[in-house]
Structure 1
Amino acid sequence: MNAPRPTDAHPYLRAATAGLRHHARAHTLHGAPADRLHLDTLHAHLTAAHQLLDQLTDSTRPPHPAAGRHLVAAHLRLWQATAAVHDAFHTVPADDGEGSAAEECRPERLPEGPLVLTICQRHLAASHAIRRKTTPTDLNTPLQGHTTTCGQ
Protein backbone atom coordinates (compact mmCIF):
# COMPACT_ATOMS: atom_id res chain seq x y z
CA MET A 1 0.00 0.00 0.00
CA ASN A 2 1.38 3.40 -0.95
CA ALA A 3 1.86 6.13 1.62
CA PRO A 4 -0.47 9.11 1.10
CA ARG A 5 0.98 12.03 -0.78
CA PRO A 6 1.43 15.20 1.29
CA THR A 7 -1.32 16.87 -0.73
CA ASP A 8 -3.70 14.04 0.25
CA ALA A 9 -2.97 14.30 3.98
CA HIS A 10 -5.80 15.49 6.23
CA PRO A 11 -8.34 16.30 3.47
CA TYR A 12 -11.13 17.25 5.89
CA LEU A 13 -8.93 19.66 7.80
CA ARG A 14 -7.78 21.23 4.52
CA ALA A 15 -11.41 21.54 3.40
CA ALA A 16 -12.40 23.21 6.68
CA THR A 17 -9.51 25.67 6.34
CA ALA A 18 -10.50 26.45 2.76
CA GLY A 19 -14.08 27.00 3.91
CA LEU A 20 -12.93 29.47 6.56
CA ARG A 21 -10.81 31.34 4.03
CA HIS A 22 -13.74 31.53 1.63
CA HIS A 23 -16.02 32.79 4.38
CA ALA A 24 -13.48 35.43 5.47
CA ARG A 25 -13.23 36.72 1.88
CA ALA A 26 -17.02 36.75 1.47
CA HIS A 27 -17.49 38.49 4.81
CA THR A 28 -15.00 41.18 3.79
CA LEU A 29 -17.21 41.99 0.78
CA HIS A 30 -20.42 42.24 2.81
CA GLY A 31 -19.06 43.62 6.08
CA ALA A 32 -22.19 42.85 8.10
CA PRO A 33 -21.70 42.55 11.86
CA ALA A 34 -21.70 39.08 13.35
CA ASP A 35 -25.05 37.78 14.47
CA ARG A 36 -25.75 35.02 16.96
CA LEU A 37 -26.02 32.31 14.30
CA HIS A 38 -22.63 33.34 12.91
CA LEU A 39 -21.02 33.30 16.36
CA ASP A 40 -22.65 29.95 17.20
CA THR A 41 -21.21 28.41 14.05
CA LEU A 42 -17.77 29.92 14.68
CA HIS A 43 -17.87 28.62 18.26
CA ALA A 44 -18.68 25.13 16.95
CA HIS A 45 -15.67 25.33 14.63
CA LEU A 46 -13.37 26.55 17.41
CA THR A 47 -14.47 23.84 19.83
CA ALA A 48 -13.88 21.19 17.15
CA ALA A 49 -10.41 22.64 16.47
CA HIS A 50 -9.80 22.72 20.23
CA GLN A 51 -10.68 19.04 20.53
CA LEU A 52 -8.36 18.16 17.64
CA LEU A 53 -5.53 20.20 19.14
CA ASP A 54 -6.10 18.46 22.47
CA GLN A 55 -5.70 15.06 20.82
CA LEU A 56 -2.61 16.17 18.89
CA THR A 57 -1.07 17.56 22.07
CA ASP A 58 -1.62 14.30 23.94
CA SER A 59 -0.01 12.23 21.20
CA THR A 60 2.85 14.64 20.46
CA ARG A 61 4.00 15.49 23.97
CA PRO A 62 5.62 12.15 24.93
CA PRO A 63 7.85 11.68 21.86
CA HIS A 64 8.49 15.41 21.29
CA PRO A 65 8.32 17.34 24.59
CA ALA A 66 9.35 20.72 23.16
CA ALA A 67 6.71 20.55 20.42
CA GLY A 68 4.22 19.36 23.03
CA ARG A 69 4.84 22.49 25.12
CA HIS A 70 4.11 24.68 22.11
CA LEU A 71 0.91 22.74 21.44
CA VAL A 72 -0.13 23.13 25.08
CA ALA A 73 0.30 26.91 24.70
CA ALA A 74 -1.77 26.84 21.49
CA HIS A 75 -4.40 24.71 23.25
CA LEU A 76 -4.73 27.32 26.00
CA ARG A 77 -4.91 30.26 23.59
CA LEU A 78 -7.48 28.53 21.42
CA TRP A 79 -9.61 27.95 24.50
CA GLN A 80 -9.34 31.64 25.35
CA ALA A 81 -10.51 32.51 21.83
CA THR A 82 -13.38 30.04 22.13
CA ALA A 83 -14.45 31.55 25.46
CA ALA A 84 -14.31 35.06 23.97
CA VAL A 85 -16.57 34.03 21.06
CA HIS A 86 -18.99 32.50 23.56
CA ASP A 87 -19.00 35.76 25.54
CA ALA A 88 -19.56 37.74 22.33
CA PHE A 89 -22.55 35.54 21.53
CA HIS A 90 -24.20 36.68 24.75
CA THR A 91 -23.58 40.36 24.04
CA VAL A 92 -25.06 40.35 20.53
CA PRO A 93 -28.83 40.88 20.56
CA ALA A 94 -30.97 38.03 19.30
CA ASP A 95 -33.03 38.50 16.14
CA ASP A 96 -36.01 39.36 18.32
CA GLY A 97 -34.05 42.14 20.07
CA GLU A 98 -33.61 40.06 23.23
CA GLY A 99 -30.21 39.58 24.78
CA SER A 100 -27.64 41.93 26.15
CA ALA A 101 -24.29 42.01 27.88
CA ALA A 102 -26.09 41.12 31.11
CA GLU A 103 -27.51 37.87 29.70
CA GLU A 104 -26.28 34.87 31.63
CA CYS A 105 -25.06 31.63 30.16
CA ARG A 106 -27.69 29.09 31.11
CA PRO A 107 -27.23 25.78 29.30
CA GLU A 108 -30.47 24.42 30.72
CA ARG A 109 -32.35 27.22 28.92
CA LEU A 110 -32.02 26.57 25.22
CA PRO A 111 -31.12 29.72 23.27
CA GLU A 112 -32.26 29.90 19.67
CA GLY A 113 -30.37 27.62 17.38
CA PRO A 114 -30.13 23.89 16.87
CA LEU A 115 -31.79 21.95 19.66
CA VAL A 116 -29.19 19.19 19.42
CA LEU A 117 -26.39 21.27 20.84
CA THR A 118 -26.64 24.94 21.74
CA ILE A 119 -23.61 27.16 22.15
CA CYS A 120 -23.94 27.14 25.95
CA GLN A 121 -24.20 23.35 26.12
CA ARG A 122 -21.25 22.98 23.75
CA HIS A 123 -19.21 25.50 25.73
CA LEU A 124 -20.02 23.79 29.01
CA ALA A 125 -18.94 20.40 27.64
CA ALA A 126 -15.71 21.88 26.27
CA SER A 127 -14.98 23.69 29.54
CA HIS A 128 -15.31 20.43 31.48
CA ALA A 129 -12.81 18.82 29.12
CA ILE A 130 -10.22 21.60 29.43
CA ARG A 131 -10.57 21.86 33.19
CA ARG A 132 -9.59 18.21 33.56
CA LYS A 133 -6.15 19.06 32.14
CA THR A 134 -5.65 22.74 32.93
CA THR A 135 -5.67 24.94 36.00
CA PRO A 136 -7.68 28.19 36.14
CA THR A 137 -4.40 30.09 36.52
CA ASP A 138 -3.07 28.60 33.28
CA LEU A 139 -6.29 29.51 31.47
CA ASN A 140 -6.01 33.16 32.50
CA THR A 141 -2.26 33.59 32.05
CA PRO A 142 -1.12 35.65 29.07
CA LEU A 143 1.30 34.04 26.65
CA GLN A 144 4.78 34.68 28.01
CA GLY A 145 8.11 33.09 27.36
CA HIS A 146 6.95 31.59 24.09
CA THR A 147 9.80 31.29 21.67
CA THR A 148 10.01 29.94 18.20
CA THR A 149 12.76 29.29 15.70
CA CYS A 150 11.01 31.38 13.04
CA GLY A 151 12.48 34.81 12.33
CA GLN A 152 10.20 37.78 12.66
Structure 2
Amino acid sequence: MTPPHSSTADSHPYLRAATAGVRHHTRALSRTAPPPQTDRTHLDTLHAHLAELHGLLNQLADRTRPALPGAGRHLAEARTRLWQAATDIHAAFHLLPAPAADAAECRPDRLPEGPPFLTICQRHLAAGHLVRRKTTPTDIRAPHTTACVR
Protein backbone atom coordinates (compact mmCIF):
# COMPACT_ATOMS: atom_id res chain seq x y z
CA MET A 1 0.00 0.00 0.00
CA THR A 2 1.45 3.36 -0.97
CA PRO A 3 1.26 6.39 1.27
CA PRO A 4 -1.22 9.09 0.27
CA HIS A 5 0.09 12.01 -1.74
CA SER A 6 0.40 15.22 0.25
CA SER A 7 1.98 18.59 -0.30
CA THR A 8 3.29 18.93 3.25
CA ALA A 9 4.39 16.39 5.80
CA ASP A 10 1.96 17.77 8.40
CA SER A 11 -1.22 17.70 6.31
CA HIS A 12 -4.07 15.71 7.85
CA PRO A 13 -2.11 14.04 10.69
CA TYR A 14 -5.18 12.38 12.20
CA LEU A 15 -6.12 10.70 8.94
CA ARG A 16 -2.55 9.49 8.51
CA ALA A 17 -2.59 8.11 12.06
CA ALA A 18 -5.92 6.34 11.44
CA THR A 19 -4.56 4.85 8.21
CA ALA A 20 -1.44 3.67 10.03
CA GLY A 21 -3.64 2.10 12.71
CA VAL A 22 -5.66 0.20 10.11
CA ARG A 23 -2.44 -0.99 8.41
CA HIS A 24 -1.03 -2.15 11.75
CA HIS A 25 -4.23 -4.03 12.58
CA THR A 26 -4.28 -5.69 9.14
CA ARG A 27 -0.67 -6.83 9.51
CA ALA A 28 -1.31 -8.12 13.03
CA LEU A 29 -4.28 -10.18 11.79
CA SER A 30 -2.28 -11.65 8.91
CA ARG A 31 0.54 -12.77 11.26
CA THR A 32 -1.66 -14.81 13.56
CA ALA A 33 -1.95 -18.50 12.80
CA PRO A 34 -4.63 -19.73 12.59
CA PRO A 35 -6.58 -16.58 11.68
CA PRO A 36 -8.82 -15.49 14.54
CA GLN A 37 -12.55 -15.61 14.04
CA THR A 38 -14.18 -12.23 13.65
CA ASP A 39 -16.24 -11.23 16.66
CA ARG A 40 -18.97 -8.68 17.20
CA THR A 41 -16.67 -6.23 19.00
CA HIS A 42 -14.32 -6.19 16.04
CA LEU A 43 -17.13 -5.53 13.56
CA ASP A 44 -18.66 -2.87 15.82
CA THR A 45 -15.35 -1.00 15.88
CA LEU A 46 -14.91 -1.38 12.13
CA HIS A 47 -18.46 -0.11 11.57
CA ALA A 48 -17.71 2.95 13.74
CA HIS A 49 -14.65 3.66 11.59
CA LEU A 50 -16.67 3.36 8.37
CA ALA A 51 -19.45 5.59 9.74
CA GLU A 52 -16.91 8.31 10.58
CA LEU A 53 -15.31 8.01 7.14
CA HIS A 54 -18.80 8.28 5.62
CA GLY A 55 -19.36 11.56 7.46
CA LEU A 56 -15.98 12.88 6.37
CA LEU A 57 -16.63 12.00 2.73
CA ASN A 58 -20.01 13.68 2.97
CA GLN A 59 -18.40 16.94 4.11
CA LEU A 60 -15.71 16.72 1.44
CA ALA A 61 -18.27 16.07 -1.31
CA ASP A 62 -20.43 18.99 -0.18
CA ARG A 63 -17.47 21.39 -0.07
CA THR A 64 -15.94 20.23 -3.36
CA ARG A 65 -19.07 20.03 -5.52
CA PRO A 66 -19.76 23.80 -5.96
CA ALA A 67 -16.28 24.61 -7.30
CA LEU A 68 -15.46 21.26 -8.96
CA PRO A 69 -18.69 19.39 -9.78
CA GLY A 70 -16.95 16.40 -11.37
CA ALA A 71 -14.72 15.78 -8.38
CA GLY A 72 -17.68 16.32 -6.06
CA ARG A 73 -19.66 13.64 -7.90
CA HIS A 74 -16.80 11.17 -7.48
CA LEU A 75 -16.60 11.93 -3.77
CA ALA A 76 -20.37 11.49 -3.48
CA GLU A 77 -20.03 8.14 -5.27
CA ALA A 78 -17.32 7.10 -2.79
CA ARG A 79 -19.63 8.15 0.07
CA THR A 80 -22.36 5.90 -1.33
CA ARG A 81 -19.99 2.93 -1.68
CA LEU A 82 -18.77 3.45 1.87
CA TRP A 83 -22.39 3.33 3.04
CA GLN A 84 -22.81 0.01 1.24
CA ALA A 85 -19.75 -1.35 3.03
CA ALA A 86 -21.09 -0.15 6.41
CA THR A 87 -24.45 -1.80 5.65
CA ASP A 88 -22.75 -5.12 4.93
CA ILE A 89 -20.66 -4.87 8.12
CA HIS A 90 -23.87 -4.18 10.08
CA ALA A 91 -25.55 -7.22 8.53
CA ALA A 92 -22.52 -9.43 9.27
CA PHE A 93 -22.52 -8.20 12.88
CA HIS A 94 -26.03 -9.54 13.39
CA LEU A 95 -25.16 -12.89 11.81
CA LEU A 96 -22.36 -13.55 14.31
CA PRO A 97 -23.29 -15.34 17.52
CA ALA A 98 -23.79 -13.12 20.54
CA PRO A 99 -21.21 -13.66 23.28
CA ALA A 100 -22.34 -15.89 26.10
CA ALA A 101 -22.28 -13.81 29.26
CA ASP A 102 -22.91 -14.72 32.84
CA ALA A 103 -26.45 -13.57 33.67
CA ALA A 104 -25.24 -11.96 36.90
CA GLU A 105 -22.55 -9.97 35.00
CA CYS A 106 -24.62 -8.86 32.04
CA ARG A 107 -26.86 -5.95 33.03
CA PRO A 108 -27.61 -4.02 29.81
CA ASP A 109 -30.35 -2.09 31.60
CA ARG A 110 -27.59 -0.34 33.58
CA LEU A 111 -25.68 0.85 30.51
CA PRO A 112 -26.51 4.45 29.55
CA GLU A 113 -26.36 3.67 25.82
CA GLY A 114 -28.51 0.56 26.15
CA PRO A 115 -27.56 -3.03 25.42
CA PRO A 116 -24.19 -3.36 23.64
CA PHE A 117 -25.73 -4.88 20.51
CA LEU A 118 -27.86 -1.76 20.00
CA THR A 119 -24.98 0.70 19.70
CA ILE A 120 -24.09 -0.45 16.17
CA CYS A 121 -27.78 -0.24 15.22
CA GLN A 122 -28.10 3.28 16.62
CA ARG A 123 -24.98 4.40 14.75
CA HIS A 124 -26.22 2.75 11.55
CA LEU A 125 -29.63 4.42 11.84
CA ALA A 126 -28.02 7.82 12.41
CA ALA A 127 -25.83 7.39 9.32
CA GLY A 128 -28.88 6.16 7.43
CA HIS A 129 -30.61 9.51 7.98
CA LEU A 130 -27.73 11.24 6.20
CA VAL A 131 -27.84 8.68 3.39
CA ARG A 132 -31.56 9.23 2.84
CA ARG A 133 -31.04 13.00 2.61
CA LYS A 134 -28.14 12.75 0.14
CA THR A 135 -28.85 9.74 -2.08
CA THR A 136 -31.70 7.92 -3.72
CA PRO A 137 -32.36 4.18 -3.50
CA THR A 138 -31.37 3.97 -7.19
CA ASP A 139 -27.97 5.52 -6.40
CA ILE A 140 -27.39 2.98 -3.66
CA ARG A 141 -28.28 0.00 -5.88
CA ALA A 142 -26.42 1.27 -8.96
CA PRO A 143 -23.22 -0.59 -9.87
CA HIS A 144 -19.94 1.21 -9.45
CA THR A 145 -19.05 2.60 -12.89
CA THR A 146 -16.63 5.47 -12.29
CA ALA A 147 -13.14 5.14 -13.67
CA CYS A 148 -9.94 7.11 -13.58
CA VAL A 149 -10.29 10.15 -15.84
CA ARG A 150 -6.60 10.46 -16.61
Query: How would you bin the TM-score normalised by the shorter chain?
Result: 0.7 to 0.9
- Distance in 1, matches of 2:97 and 2:144, equals 31
Listed as ranges, the matches of 1:3-152 within 5 Å are 6-30=8-32, 31-96=35-100, 110-112=114-116, 118-144=119-145, 146-149=146-149
Identity of aligned pairs, percent?
A: 57
Whole-Å separation in 2 of the counterparts to 1:25 and 1:84: 23
C-alpha distance in structure 1 between counterparts of 2:115 and 2:93, whole Å: 10
Point out 4+ residue stretches in structure 1 off by more than 6 angstroms: none
TM-score, length-scaled by structure 1: 0.80
Number of equivalenced pairs: 131
Give the whole-Å Cα distance in 1 for the aligned partners of 2:119 and 2:116: 8
Query: Which has a greater percent of helix?
Result: 2
Q: Which runs of 5+ in 2 are unaligned?
A: 1-6, 102-112
Provide the rounded CA distance (Å) in 2 between the counterparts of 1:111 and 1:76: 29
1:23 is displaced (CA, Å) by 0.3
Give the distance between the partners of 1:131 and 1:76, measured in 2 at CA.
11
CA RMSD in angstroms, aligned pairs only: 1.8
Q: TM-score, normalised by structure 2?
A: 0.82
Q: Which runs of 5+ in 1 are unaligned?
A: 98-108
The letter for the 1-side match of 2:13 is P
Report the AA paired with residue 123 of structure 2. R
